[in-house]
């Protein structure tokens, strides 16, 4: 069974209590649980991890190239600052989808630029917790279209 690596970046461990007007009330644990349920329906597994440390996210990406079929990621603020994460995504031969809970283009100007989006096959932004399920469905669809 294919496994998708799901990476959550800094401060996402505070979902449900952090800026609920922007990020909503859904917790990270609830997002991961719903991704596991959806993955089972789609015939895949998800391997979910959150870190506030850029190096740990990089290490997980590097390790995933031998064990995972794709990557679903929300690097939070690192999206807008980390050239290293963008480079790591380009260095591994896995399709990836970037997701964001909020519509980053409707917020501060600096959030409109992503150092990682150009390394992804697509981006889902602005649908709250649903961004993750939409992103997972899109990634699985992409994998199935390109495997055959």
Concerning whether 100 is annotated as a catalytic residue, the answer is yes
Q: Among the options 23, 78, 115, 132, which is catalytic?
A: 23
Q: Among the options 68, 100, 115, 132, which is catalytic?
A: 100
Buried b (16+ CB within 10 A) or exposed e, 94-121: bbbbbbbbbebeeeeeebeebbbbebbb
Concerning whether 132 is annotated as a catalytic residue, the answer is no
**How many degrees, rounded to 5, is the angle at CA 114 between CA 111 and CA 116?**
145
Active site residues: 23, 100
């Amino acid at each position: 069974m294919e496994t998708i690596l799901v990476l959550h970046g800094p401060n996402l461990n505070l979902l449900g209590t952090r800026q609920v007007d922007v990020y909503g009330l859904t917790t990270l644990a609830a997002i991961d649980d719903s991704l596991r349920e959806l993955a089972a329906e789609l015939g895949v597994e998800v391997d979910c991890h959150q870190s506030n440390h850029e190096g740990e996210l990089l290490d997980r990406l590097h390790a995933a190239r031998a064990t995972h079929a794709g990557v679903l990621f929300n690097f939070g603020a690192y999206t807008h600052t980390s050239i290293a994460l963008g480079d790591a995504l380009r260095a591994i031969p896995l399709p990836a989808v970037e997701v964001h809970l909020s519509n980053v283009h409707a917020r501060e100007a600096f959030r409109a630029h992503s150092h990682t989006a150009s390394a992804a096959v697509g981006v889902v932004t602005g649908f709250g917790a649903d961004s993750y399920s939409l992103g997972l469905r899109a990634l699985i669809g992409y994998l199935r279209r390109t495997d055959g």
